[in-house]
Structure 1
Amino acid sequence: MALTALVTGASAGFGDAIARRLVRDGYRVIAAARRVERLEALARDLGPALCPFPLDVAEATAVASLPDSLPDGWREVDVLVNNAGLALGLDPAWQVSLDEWETMVATNVSGLMRLTRALLPGMVARNRGHVVNLSSVAGTYPYPGGNVYGASKAFVTQFTLNLKSDLIGTNVRVTSIEPGLCGGTEFSNVRFGGDDSRAAAVYAGTEPLTATDIAEAVGWVVGQPAHVNINRIEMMPTCQAPGPLAVKRAG
């Protein structure tokens, strides 16, 4: 029987590409997101191997009840891809909206944490499974305006490494995927409140990573032999690199 994967944030961007890649690789995929009409369109594209599942990862009650809410025959999740996440704003910390900070924490931190806690016991009981967390290079390399977004991704990376420590001796694997500049998704449009021109300027003159590149990494990670755990993958396009330390000089 085909393995079952659950991908959050599957209505667009990385999640859409990851769902498509995993179906192509022979998985049955539960595509979870808030935008039901997009999930239904994805199901029409991919057929019975994809199960659309409405879910807001920031809703604690919905996440807690997830294992028993999945359709019959789809409840043993072999691969969890915690992809749902967002960045809001690029203002300095003393000017940023507190609501935006709290929204990022609710999705990027609490949602990922709760979903992992909901599905991990089943994986451990079956002694098989894989949790793939979408982090970011922003969790390692700070930049002006990154504040809570970067901090939330640092949580994802460290949470992944600590899960690996907890899971030692089991056959449950865990991986952090940490992309850099990635275009062709809604990420910057969401960050800038729908300002398409400002979002487009982020990628002007670059050849960024694509959602397909991220899906390729996820497909490779989960396709490794069962005894192989890929702890972290940090990805950047060739046009990007970590910057030097900033120095502000007087005068």
Structure 2
Amino acid sequence: MPAELDQKVAVITGAGSGIGAATARQLAAAGFHVVAAGRRLDRITEVANETGGTACQLDVTDRDAVQAFAATLARVDVLFNNAGGAFGADPIATGNPDDWEAMFQVNVMGTLHVTQALLPKLIASGAGTVVVMSSTAGFVAYEGGGGYVAAKHGTHAIAATLRLELFDKPVRVIEIAPGMVRTDEFTVNRMRGDTKKAAAVYQGVAEPLTADDVADTVCWAVTRPPHVNVDLLVLRPRAQAAQHKVDRSG
């Protein structure tokens, strides 16, 4: 990216698809220079070209790579910790520990690595914003979700603790916790490519949230005046009153 930028810079992890890509488009439209970070170079390059931003190939679980990435950035005004994922839907009794480890690494440690690496630049901006993508799974458990629930509880804990620790610094911490969101990849990946099982998650739900819905919420929170902190924003589709209360008559 350019050595100096007058534009505010928003770094988005997991920017190659879904909520990350949608947020990149909306923040670019709001005037930010978007740094689209993600593992799949072709995807993030496409997003960067579309938004006039910068593509940076990055695995957030690789701490050394994250540190090297941070060194390339001249300024950072917004960090959207969006990289994450769920793997498997097995009960705890038969869950694969490798799935649990993978979810903890990307959702929790990935958020930690990137936040630690970029925090000095966020503070130096004079009005930095850290956005943490959590989930309603970070508050309410459900069957078959043990590993993801545990990981998102960890993500929530990072946001809540960081806000306390930065209370006297010019950085606000925003947590966005979506419920049922239908994107191209999230549930398919969780179900290991089984599209029928993935489709069943949303069966009968007339209007689950979309990536654009969540991106719109992130963009709104980020563009509030710097003294306004949206601590925690939970959003669900109207059809989902709670984790286990979903209208499937649509």
Q: TM-score, normalized by length of structure 1? A: 0.92
Answering whether residue 57 of structure 2 is matched by residue 58 of structure 1, we say no
On the 8 A contact 2:77/2:125 being kept in 1, the answer is no
2: CA distance, partners of 1:244 / 1:210: 19
1:136-151 alignment to 2 at 5 Å?
A: 136-151=135-150
Distance change (3 Å), C-alpha of 1:61 and 1:217: same
How far apart are 1:151 and its partner, in Å?
1.2
- Aligned to 2:11, the other structure's residue is in SS state strand
How far apart are 1:172 and its partner, in Å?
0.6
Q: CA RMSD in A?
A: 1.4
1: CA distance, partners of 2:220 / 2:244: 32
Partner of 1:172: 171
1:81-125 Cα deviation digits (max 9, x unpaired): 000000011101121111111110110010111110001122224
2: CA distance, partners of 1:160 / 1:238: 26
Structure 1 residue ranges, 4+ long, deviating more than 4 angstroms after superposition: none
Letter in 1 for 2:50: D
- Aligned to 1:188, the other structure's residue is in SS state helix
Letter in 2 for 1:215: A
Partner of 1:226: 226
Partner of 1:187: 186
Answering whether residue 12 of structure 2 is matched by residue 2 of structure 1, we say no
Partner of 1:115: 114
1:190-228 Cα deviation digits (max 9, x unpaired): 100011111111111111001001100111111111111
Partner of 1:162: 161
The unaligned stretches of length 5 or more in structure 2 are: 1-5, 246-250
Partner of 1:204: 203
Report the identity percentage. Answer: 41
- Aligned to 2:132, the other structure's residue is in SS state strand
2: CA distance, partners of 1:238 / 1:219: 21
2: CA distance, partners of 1:43 / 1:158: 31
Letter in 2 for 1:223: T
Letter in 2 for 1:8: T
2: CA distance, partners of 1:184 / 1:119: 28
Q: TM-score, normalized by length of structure 2? A: 0.92
Distance change (3 Å), C-alpha of 1:243 and 1:82: closer
On the 8 A contact 2:99/2:147 being kept in 1, the answer is no
1:56-97 Cα deviation digits (max 9, x unpaired): 1111210122221x2xxx421110000000001110112111
Answering whether residue 28 of structure 2 is matched by residue 17 of structure 1, we say no
The unaligned stretches of length 5 or more in structure 1 are: 246-251
The number of residue pairs the alignment matches comes to 239
How far apart are 1:185 and its partner, in Å?
2.9
